[in-house]
Amino acid sequence: MELTSYGAAGVVTGSKHLLTSKGLNFLVDSGLFQGEGVEKKNEDVLPFKAHEIKAIFLTHAHLDHCGYLPVLVKSGFHGKIYCTKATRSLAEIILLDSAKIQEYEAKESQTKKHLLYEEEDVLRTLDFFDTCDFDKTYHCEHLTFSFHTAGHVLGAAFLRVELEGKSLTFSGDIGQPYDMLMPSPAPLIQTDYLVLESTYGDRIHSKENTINHIASELKEVIANGGTLLVPVFALARLQLFLAYLHEVFTIYPELKIAAFVDSPMGSAMTKVYKDFHYLLRPTEKEFLTYLESAKILEFSKETEKMHKMTGPKIIIASSGMISGGRIMNHVERLGKYESTTILLTGYQGKGTIGRELLEGAREIRINGHRQKIRAKVSMLESLSAHADKEQLLDWVQTASKNPHKIFLVHGEPESLGPFKEFLSSNLESIVEINAEGKSQSL
C-alpha cells in the first residue's frame, strides 16, 4: 500500500492524495492550486491516469480541495465521488462559479489556454457524487471508510479508511474547537497513519476578544465617517462574521450602522447553511437572527445605491484574500481613502492582494492598474477556520493512542518544519513532511 501526495505538499493548496492498494487507486481530495507562482501547476499533465481512479473521497468544499474534480472527469474519471451531503451542495456552487470565472477570463483574453473546464464539465462531474452521513461506515472495494466532523466549514469532515489490516486518517482541514458556528472537531479515532494539515503549524492564534476588536474598528470608522470594508470567504467566514457582528450590535447598540453583504456566492452559500442548520452549533432561530445583522444585496443597482449613501457603513464581500470577486471593486473604489478600514478575516495566501496588504504594501495592482492604498489595514486573527498548532496537537491526542506515523501536508515551508519539531517533541509518533510526488510505503 502506498500514499503519494500530488498537491498540498510544501504548499497550502491543490490537495490531491493518491492511495494505492492491491492494484487499485483511490484519491482523497482533488483541489486547485491557488496563488501566484503555483496556479500554473493546474495546467500540468496529470501525474496519474484519471480513468484508473476507482473512487474519490472529498473532505470538504473549498476550491483547493474540490476544484480539480471536473478536470479529472474530463480526463476519463468515471467512479464515485464520496462526500457529506452539505459538501455536495456547497461544491456545486463553488465548481459552477469556478467554471464561470474561467469562461469569463478566457473570453476576455480570447484564448482557452488556461480554461481548465466549463459549466458543462461541472454538471457532468456532479453526476458522480455519492453523499454519505457522518459517523457511518461505508464500503468501496476492499476499503471501508467513514466521515467524521472536522469543524472548519459546513459539511467538512476528516476521513478514516481501513484496508489491508491498517487504518489511515486524512484530516482534511481541522477547525478551531470553539468556533461560534461550527461544532468542535470529533475526537480522532485511533489510527495507524495520519495525514495532517499544517496550515497554522507555526503559530498559535491570538487570544483577542473578537467582539471587542470589531467594536474598536467600528468606533474608528464611525468617528471618521468612513467604511469598514470586510473581505470574507463566501463559505464559512461570511456567516461567522455576521454572527459576531450581531453580537457587537447587541452589546454596543450605538455602533449599529448600515451593513451590507455584496457577494452573490455568499448569498448562495448562506442558503445552504440554512438548509443544513442542524449541523451548526447555534439553534436555527439563533442562526437566522445572526443573518439579520446585514442586508444581502441581490442586484447591481443596490450596490450603486449603497455607495451613494452618506455616513459610515460596513461592506462585506468576497473573496477573502482579495483575489477576485466583488471585493476587488470595493477595494479599488474605497482603498484610496484614509477613512476606510480593510479588515481581513482569514488566511491570506502568497501572491494575493490580501497578503500584500497584510505585509504592509501601500500600492497594489488591482483590476489591471496600480493603485495607492491609504486605508488602514487590520487583521481579525481570531476568525480563522483552521486550528492552530496547539489545537491540532490537542486533536491528535484525543485518540487513545498516538498514530504510528504522521504525514504533514497543506502547509507552507516556513510552517512545516517547526510543526514537525513541535509534534515530534510532544507525541510518540514518527513525523514526516510529505514531498510532492514521493510515494510513502504504509
DSSP states of 123-136 as a string?
HHHHTTEEEE-BT-
CA distances from 87 to 118, 337, 353 (A): 21, 39, 28
CA-atom Rg of the chain in angstroms? 21
Buried b (16+ CB within 10 A) or exposed e, 136-153: eeeebeebebbbbbbbbb
Cα dihedral value 274, 279, 285, 286, nearest 10 = -110
pLDDT computed for residue 84 by the predictor: 98
pLDDT computed for residue 112 by the predictor: 54
pLDDT computed for residue 322 by the predictor: 94
3-state SS, residue 59: coil
pLDDT computed for residue 300 by the predictor: 83
pLDDT computed for residue 61 by the predictor: 98
Domain 210-383 matching CATH 3.40.50.10890: the answer reads yes
Q: 2-203+385-441, superfamily in CATH?
A: Ribonuclease Z/Hydroxyacylglutathione hydrolase-like (3.60.15.10)
Q: Please give the helix or strand (H or E) that residue 235 lies within, else none.
A: none
- Sign of the C-alpha dihedral, residues 351, 356, 362, 367? positive
**Terminal-residue alpha carbon distance, the chain:** 6
pLDDT computed for residue 136 by the predictor: 98
pLDDT computed for residue 118 by the predictor: 95
pLDDT computed for residue 113 by the predictor: 57
pLDDT averaged per 10 residues in sequence order, the chain, 442 residues: 96 96 97 86 90 98 97 97 98 96 80 81 98 98 98 98 97 96 98 97 91 97 97 95 98 98 95 98 98 92 91 95 93 96 89 93 94 96 91 98 98 95 98 96 94
Strands 340-344 and 227-231 turn out to be parallel
pLDDT computed for residue 324 by the predictor: 87
Question: Where along the chain do the CATH 3.60.15.10 domains lie?
Answer: 2-203+385-441
Q: pTM for the whole thing?
A: 0.94
Between vectors from CA 328 to CA 322 and to CA 331, what angle results, nearest 5°?
A: 95
Q: What stretches of 301-384 adopt beta strand conformation (E)?
A: 313-317, 340-344, 363-366, 369-372, 376-379
The residue to which cell 474530463 is assigned: 74
Question: Where along the chain do the CATH 3.40.50.10890 domains lie?
Answer: 210-383
pLDDT computed for residue 110 by the predictor: 64
